[in-house]
Amino acid sequence: MSSLRAVRALAVKDLRLLLRDRGALFFTLGFPLLMGLAFGWIFGGGGSKSRSDLDIAVFDRDGSAPSRAFIDELGGEGSGIATAPATDLDACVAAVRTREAIACVVLEEGFGRASDAFFAGGPMRLGVHIDPSRGAEGGLLTGKLTALSYQRMQSLFSGESEALKRARMVIDQGDAPPALKSALSDLYTSIERLNEGDEGQDEKQDEKQDEKQDEKQADDGQTDDDSEPESGGFQPVVITTSEVRAERSGPPNAFAVSFPQGIIWGLMSCVMSFSASLVRERTQGTMVRLMIAPLAPAAILAAKSLACFLTCILLQVLMIAFAVVVFDLTVSAPFEMAVAMICSALAFVGVTVLIAGLSRSEEGADGLGRSVLLLLALFGGGTIPIFVMPPAMAAAASISPFKWASVAIEGALWRGFSLAELALPLGILLAFGVGGFIVGVLAMRRRGAG
Amino acid sequence: MSALLRLDDLHRSYGSTVAVDGLSLEVASGEVLGLLGPNGAGKSTTIGMIAGLLRPDRGAVVIDGRGGPEDPEIRRLLGLAPQSLALYDELTARENLKLFAELYDLRGSGGRERVQELLVAVGLDTRADDRVAAFSGGMKRRLNLAVALLHRPRLLLLDEPTVGVDPQSRSSIIELIRTIAGGGTTVVYSTHYMEEAQRICDRVAIVDHGKLLDIDTVDSLIDRHGGKPILRTIKGGEETRLRTDDPVRELTALFAAGGLESVRIDRPDLEAVFLALTGRTLRDV
Ligand SMILES: Nc1ncnc2c1ncn2[C@@H]1O[C@H](COP(=O)(O)OP(=O)(O)O)[C@@H](O)[C@H]1O
Ligand SMILES: [Mg+2]
């Protein structure tokens, strides 16, 4: 029979056995989830502070009354934004870098003048410096800024302000330059749209604008304050975004720590149940049947490894997906996360084979293997997250494959590690996988030949 | 008839324990050969070497004149019901059969039919979808046998297939084996129950301490080693045992003397053969 079919049939059998083993199933999937939830709540992740208030640092380069009013409105009650004034641009950007703020908003010079007299000055100019990993919040913020700007205009035009009077006058007199007339009519259109509450379309426009700006930046890599909107129409607000890479100082919330911890326990349980099930094939005699079936001997181990691998992947995907959906985590490096999951699954397949190879009996896999694994998991990030360990302890934890899985998963989850930065943990995980597999197979061979 | 199985001077030790010590024999195609010996005689080790689970220290196993069981194509000819049950407890009877059917390329409707056929043959069709963990010893033994039969092996290796089962399961297992043997399947049947060997086997190999003591039909073995029949008589409350070549003549004489209360002639059996060959009884060991 084709080996692939055999491997599949056997792997399905192993997954079915896991599903029927309530205890193993609980410890592989249920317990990690409970750990993630419990540790997350205990360490204060239960609140949704990160959701309610976006911390924004603001640098008011203009220093005018309208700009101050704008800032007050931005951080106003119920806005969901908490503003913190910065004394200069550097301080403002630094706040993003150190994660005190998710973004720095700069009100450029001339902001006040522009907001009082749109057609006289240029558009209102805003600079946004934001960590690229905070894409969702960034979108939210630029949306808000745009809406606010339009609202400001609306209030100016609806009130008996100088600007409104002048604008009416210009239009009424009818001898204004055609360009200005057209700009004004554009402006009125925008305002009308705003009044109709057609925000969906507005947002679409905002997004388009953002994209345009982003493209520009990708080109020259620097904030370009003088960029005039290319559309012929008058644009009352220009938001320029630029990237500030935030330093990885800490996780966004407690669940970003507790879910990787839960994964560690799930991986441990996965290793335990599959190494025990591999040993059980020997003790319950089914290995004998598999060995006399016309299979390549490697197919038996390949199937067990495949089932173990899939379970490890499933566990990680479920845990991360749960954290993302329920606790609003963002995977800062999704591709790296996929690679990290695959590497840690491979590592623990190797560890599984190693333990199965070294244990004489099912009890051995359950007993000695269990205690060693437990220790490795405890000190490999299962209880104390690696990033808060004292350096000596973290160094000692390096013998634990769990540590490297923690580092890789955390790195991809909230530290925004690149593949290059993850190379060490991923390499070590692969080494555990390959090494464990080889030693385990050699041990089994020796026993089989005995 | 040509030999389907040939064992050539097989040796196998576990550390200092010699389990099989120079075993040679041939099994003809379609024959049912019994391996009769007490626990520890080396039967399972022998079967393990035939199946390719254990490598002989010395000697060779030749199947169908072609080669040893290392070759997967030759292993395909073999069916094995191991002495230690080899079943997944948490799978149902049907799932166990289906898994092994797949490993032998029996898939789709053909595979399903074969599985159903065997469930009926071993009387487990009504419990097919129950987990093996809930089965009695006898049911497990029957399923263990059914798995060995899935791919219609030419050489069936049965290692103590009736150990620890209720009498009913025992007879149904023995009946099934007779049916399979009747269909031309070659069977190697290891047991320490001489009644079974006597009932099922064309020839019996008597093994002890890893050595083949003799191999022949049951009758020939008894003729050769069983000794004379024993004439047991009770007269005046006292039993007398008399070994004789001609119990009928002796009996006539005793009747003539009169006063007999009870008479019995014990024909020698494999037990006597074993006793004669080893100085021990099968039941003792
Ligand atoms: N795995 C093993 N390790 C050590 N000794 C063994 C092992 N298997 C069998 N033996 C020994 O080899 C001898 C033959 O055993 P076995 O082939 O199981 O006999 P039987 O099947 O006839 O009862 C016995 O003395 C037994 O104790
Ligand atoms: Mg045995």
**What does the DSSP assignment read for B126-177?**
GGTTSBGGG--HHHHHHHHHHHHHTT--SEEEEESTTTT--HHHHHHHHHHH
Phi, psi of B31 (to 5 degrees): -85, 155
H helices present in B150-269, as ranges: 167-182, 194-200, 218-221, 247-257
Residue A113 sits in a domain whose CATH number is 3.40.1710.10
pLDDT band at A215; cut points 50, 70, 90: very low
Coil, helix or strand for A130?
strand
CA–CA distances in Å: residue A174 to residues A65, A191, A192, A391, B80:
32, 20, 21, 75, 103
Structure-model confidence comparison of residues B33 and A252, the more confident one: B33
The answer for A 277-306 residues in CB contact with B (under 8 A) is 284-296
Q: Name the closest residue on chain A to residue B81, using Cα atoms.
A: A289
Does A289 contact B78 at a Cβ distance shorter than 8 Å?
A: no
pLDDT at A204: 40
In DSSP terms, which residues pair with B10 in a beta bridge?
B23
DSSP letter string, A378-443:
IIIIISS-GGGS-HHHHHHGGG-HHHHHHHHHHIIIII---HHHHHHHHHHHHHHHHHHHHHHHHH
Least confident window among A27-31, A234-238, A251-255, A273-277: A234-238
Length of chain B: 285
- Measured between beta carbons, which residues in chain B are less than 8 angstroms from residue A293? 75, 100, 103-104
By Cβ distance, the residue of B53, B104, B105 closest to A288 is: B53
Same domain? For A16 and A109 the reply is no
DSSP letter string, A87-106:
SSHHHHHHHHHTTS-SEEEE
- Of A188, A222, A243, which residue sits at a domain end? A243
Q: What is the ipTM of this complex?
A: 0.85
Residue A227 in domain: no
pLDDT at A138: 79
Q: Total structural domains in chain A?
A: 2
Residue A200 in domain: no
Is pLDDT above 60 for A213?
Answer: no
Could you tell me the pTM of the whole model?
0.71
Q: Render pLDDT for A42-90 as a digit per residue (tens, 0 to 9).
A: 776 544 444 456 788 999 988 888 888 888 888 887 777 888 888 888 8
Q: Name the closest residue on chain A to residue B85, using Cα atoms.
A: A285
* Arch. (CATH architecture) of B3-223: 3-Layer(aba) Sandwich (3.40)
Contact by Cβ (8 Å): A432, A351? yes
pLDDT at A382: 84
In DSSP terms, which residues pair with A48 in a beta bridge?
none
Looking at the complex, report in whole angstroms how far the Cα of residue A293 sits from the nearest Cα belonging to chain B: 7
Is pLDDT above 60 for B63?
Answer: yes
pLDDT at B227: 82
Is pLDDT above 60 for A395?
Answer: yes
Looking at the complex, report in whole angstroms how far the Cα of residue A6 sits from the nearest Cα belonging to chain B: 6
C-alpha B258 to ligand 2 mean position (Å): 50
Q: Name the closest residue on chain A to residue B78, using Cα atoms.
A: A292
Most confident range, picked from A179-183, A330-334, B100-104, B272-276: B100-104
Length of chain A: 450
pLDDT band at B206; cut points 50, 70, 90: very high
Q: Residue A312: name the closest of A336, A279, A348, A339 by CA.
A: A348
Least confident window among A126-140, B145-159, B193-207: A126-140
Same domain? For A32 and A59 the reply is no
Q: Is B162 exposed, middle or buried (0-12, 13-18, 19+ CB in 10 A)?
A: buried
Mean pLDDT of chain B: 91
Least confident window among A190-199, A209-218, B62-71: A209-218
- Measured between beta carbons, which residues in chain A are less than 8 angstroms from residue B155? none
Q: Could you tell me the sign of the dihedral formed by the alpha carbons of B101, B103, B104, B110, in that order?
A: positive
pLDDT band at A174; cut points 50, 70, 90: low
Q: What is the mean pLDDT of residues B9-31?
A: 95
By Cβ distance, the residue of A16, A285, A290 closest to B84 is: A285
Q: Which two tokens stand for residue B223?
A: 């003729």
Q: Which two tokens stand for residue A241?
A: 């975004």
Q: What is the DSSP-derived secondary structure letter of residue A319?
A: H
Q: Name the closest residue on chain A to residue B14, using Cα atoms.
A: A450
Is pLDDT above 60 for A365?
Answer: no
Q: What is the mean pLDDT of residues B105-134?
A: 94
Is pLDDT above 90 for B243?
Answer: no
Looking at the complex, report in whole angstroms how far the Cα of residue A270 sits from the nearest Cα belonging to chain B: 18
Is pLDDT above 80 for A200?
Answer: no
Q: Residue A311: name the closest of A278, A351, A281, A269 by CA.
A: A269
Write the CB contacts of A257 (distance below 8 Å, at least 6 apart in sequence).
A39, A40, A43, A45, A251, A385, A410
Q: Residue B282: name the closest of B200, B188, B223, B213 by CA.
A: B213
Q: What is the mean pLDDT of residues B192-204?
A: 92
Does A284 contact B91 at a Cβ distance shorter than 8 Å?
A: no
Coil, helix or strand for B10?
strand
pLDDT band at A249; cut points 50, 70, 90: low
By Cβ distance, the residue of A1, A16, A294 closest to B91 is: A16
Is pLDDT above 50 for A199?
Answer: no
Q: Residue A258: name the closest of A413, A51, A49 by CA.
A: A413
Same domain? For A94 and A64 the reply is yes
Q: Which two tokens stand for residue A265?
A: 């326990």
Range(s) of the domain holding residue A319: 2-45+253-446
Strands A124-130 and A237-243: parallel
Residue A102 in domain: yes
- B133 interfaces chain A, CB cutoff of 8 Å: no
Q: Render pLDDT for A6-46 as a digit per residue (tens, 0 to 9).
A: 999 999 999 999 999 988 899 999 999 998 888 888 776 54
Residue A39 in domain: yes
Q: Is the CB of B39 under 6 A from ligand 1?
A: yes
Q: Is the CB of B115 under 6 A from ligand 1?
A: no
Q: Render pLDDT for A423-442 as a digit per residue (tens, 0 to 9).
A: 999 999 999 999 999 999 99
Same domain? For A24 and A129 the reply is no
pLDDT band at B186; cut points 50, 70, 90: very high
Is pLDDT above 80 for A159?
Answer: no
* Residue of B10, B13, B16, B17 with the most ligand 1 atoms within 8 Å of its CB, for mutation: B17
Write the CB contacts of A272 (distance below 8 Å, at least 6 apart in sequence).
A24, A27, A365, A366, A369, A370, A373
Q: Residue B115: name the closest of B149, B87, B75 by CA.
A: B149
> For atom 16 of ligand 1, which residue has the closest CA?
B42
Q: Residue A388: name the closest of A397, A376, A375 by CA.
A: A397
Same domain? For A34 and A93 the reply is no
How many degrees, rounded to 5, is the angle at CA A310 between CA A305 and CA A313? 125
Q: Is the CB of B272 under 6 A from ligand 1?
A: no
Same domain? For A27 and A124 the reply is no
Helix then strand then coil, in percent of chain A rounded to 5, is 70, 5, 20
pLDDT at A223: 40
pLDDT at A224: 42
Least confident window among A222-226, A249-253, A316-320, B17-21: A222-226
Is pLDDT above 80 for A184?
Answer: no
Mean pLDDT of chain A: 79
CA–CA distances in Å: residue B249 to residues A298, B245, B255:
69, 9, 10
CB contact burial B112-122 (16+ within 10 A = b; e otherwise): eebbeebbebb
Q: Render pLDDT for A379-388 as a digit per residue (tens, 0 to 9).
A: 888 888 887 7
Looking at the complex, report in whole angstroms how far the Cα of residue B150 sits from the nearest Cα belonging to chain A: 11
Q: Is the CB of B186 under 6 A from ligand 1?
A: no
Q: What residue segments make up the domains of chain B, in order of their start?
A: 3-223, 228-267
- Of A192, A214, A243, which residue sits at a domain end? A243
Same domain? For A29 and A134 the reply is no
Is pLDDT above 90 for A310?
Answer: yes
Q: Give Dmax (Cα) for chain A.
A: 105
pLDDT band at A232; cut points 50, 70, 90: very low
Does A285 contact B102 at a Cβ distance shorter than 8 Å?
A: no
- Interface size, chain A vs chain B, as Cβ–Cβ contacts under 8 Å: 75
Count of alpha carbons within 13 angstroms of residue A129, beta-carbon side: 28
Does A9 contact B80 at a Cβ distance shorter than 8 Å?
A: no
Q: Which two tokens stand for residue B222?
A: 């008894």
Which of A292, A300, A446 is the best mutation test for B, with the most CBs of B within 10 A? A292
Least confident window among A135-139, B56-60, B179-183, B265-269: A135-139
Same domain? For A431 and A317 the reply is yes
Residue A150 in domain: yes
Q: Name the closest residue on chain B to residue A22, using Cα atoms.
A: B90
pLDDT at A229: 43
B64 dihedral zone (left: phi>0; alpha: psi -120 to 50; beta): left
Chain centre to alpha carbon of residue A449:
49
pLDDT band at B213; cut points 50, 70, 90: very high
Q: What is the mean pLDDT of residues A265-288?
A: 90
Same domain? For A149 and A295 the reply is no
pLDDT at A447: 74
Residue A117 in domain: yes
Same domain? For A279 and A422 the reply is yes
pLDDT band at B133; cut points 50, 70, 90: very high
Q: Is the CB of B82 under 6 A from ligand 1?
A: no
